[in-house]
């Protein structure tokens, strides 16, 4: 199992890069960071109760769903999380804004699995591995990105986490064979041999090569000819 700094209570995953900036700074995803050795007791991710929620946006609408977590572990030394990683199954992606019996469900699911998006045939899994943890300070703030305004403007980072963050989590997120280091606020608790963490944040999908409908190439955004590069992600992770 590889390492993470012992500077906080927990870990999770996400997307506001770590290596440049103090907690509270909103920065872009950066190059992956080497992961060191972790110590302590190994807790197993509870795949039955852990998942990754996603929400994508375009001017005329939005889609949302979840990706199941299949395996993973956290390392805990006393009341400190010292490392961890989890794997999620891209081929198990679910869409929740429409019934599976709807023919559009199959079309959208197939498109998301294709090389336009996740390229699941070549990259069926994604992974997050913790690299550092910092305590969320009383003066820390979550900065929001300005977005092109439409009826379905992406949710702000500050709107995505439900509750008061306890820590900043940094780690390498790998999708489509690309690893980027990200940082996000999380709510973490450790009790009776169980760790739980919830986090909500935005990522720029193009950093991992999900380029279809890239809004930066839109000639006229008013004509609804793009998909927002911003994708909202929520993690709900439990380990025991």
Model pLDDT, residue 8:
33
Instruction: Give a yes or no: residue 6 inside a domain.
Output: no
Q: Which CATH number does the domain housing residue 43 bear?
A: 2.40.128.110
The rounded distance, in Å, linking the Cα atoms of 7 and 130 is 12
What pTM was estimated for this model as a whole? 0.86
Instruction: Give a yes or no: residue 87 inside a domain.
Output: yes
Q: What radius of gyration do the chain's Cα atoms show?
A: 17
Domain that holds residue 139: 30-239
- Number of domain units in the chain: 1
Instruction: Give a yes or no: residue 21 inside a domain.
Output: no
Instruction: Give a yes or no: residue 55 inside a domain.
Output: yes
Instruction: Give a yes or no: residue 226 inside a domain.
Output: yes
Judge whether residue 20 has pLDDT over 60: no
Contact 38, 24 (CB under 8 A): no
Instruction: Give a yes or no: residue 197 inside a domain.
Output: yes
* Residue range 128-145: mean pLDDT, rounded: 90
The rounded distance, in Å, linking the Cα atoms of 11 and 5 is 10
Judge whether residue 180 has pLDDT over 80: yes
Instruction: Give a yes or no: residue 91 inside a domain.
Output: yes
Instruction: Give a yes or no: residue 18 inside a domain.
Output: no
Smallest CA-to-CA distance from 29 within 195, 189, 205 is with 205
Model pLDDT, residue 3:
38
* Residue range 115-136: mean pLDDT, rounded: 95
């Amino acid at each position: 199992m590889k390492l993470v700094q012992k500077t906080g209570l927990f870990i999770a995953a996400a997307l506001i890069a770590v290596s440049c900036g103090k907690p509270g700074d909103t920065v872009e995803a950066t190059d992956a960071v080497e992961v060191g050795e972790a110590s302590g007791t190994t807790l197993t991710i509870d795949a039955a109760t852990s998942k990754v929620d996603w929400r994508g946006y375009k001017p005329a609408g939005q889609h949302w769903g979840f990706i199941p977590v299949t395996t993973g572990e956290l390392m805990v030394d006393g009341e400190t999380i010292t490392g961890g990683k989890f794997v999620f199954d891209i081929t198990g992606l679910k869409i929740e804004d429409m019934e599976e019996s709807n023919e559009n469900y199959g079309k959208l699911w197939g498109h998301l699995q294709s090389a336009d998006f996740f390229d699941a045939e070549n990259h069926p899994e994604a992974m997050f591995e913790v690299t550092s943890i910092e305590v969320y300070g009383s003066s820390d703030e979550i900065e929001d990105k300005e977005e092109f305004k439409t009826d379905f403007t992406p949710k702000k980072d500050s709107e995505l986490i439900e509750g008061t963050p306890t820590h900043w989590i940094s780690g390498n997120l790998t999708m489509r064979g690309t690893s980027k280091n990200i940082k996000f606020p999380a709510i973490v608790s450790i009790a009776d041999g169980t760790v739980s963490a919830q986090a909500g944040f935005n990522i720029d999908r193009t950093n991992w090569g999900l380029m279809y409908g890239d809004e930066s190439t839109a000639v006229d955004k008013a004509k609804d000819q793009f998909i927002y590069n911003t994708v909202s992600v929520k993690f709900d992770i439990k380990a025991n």
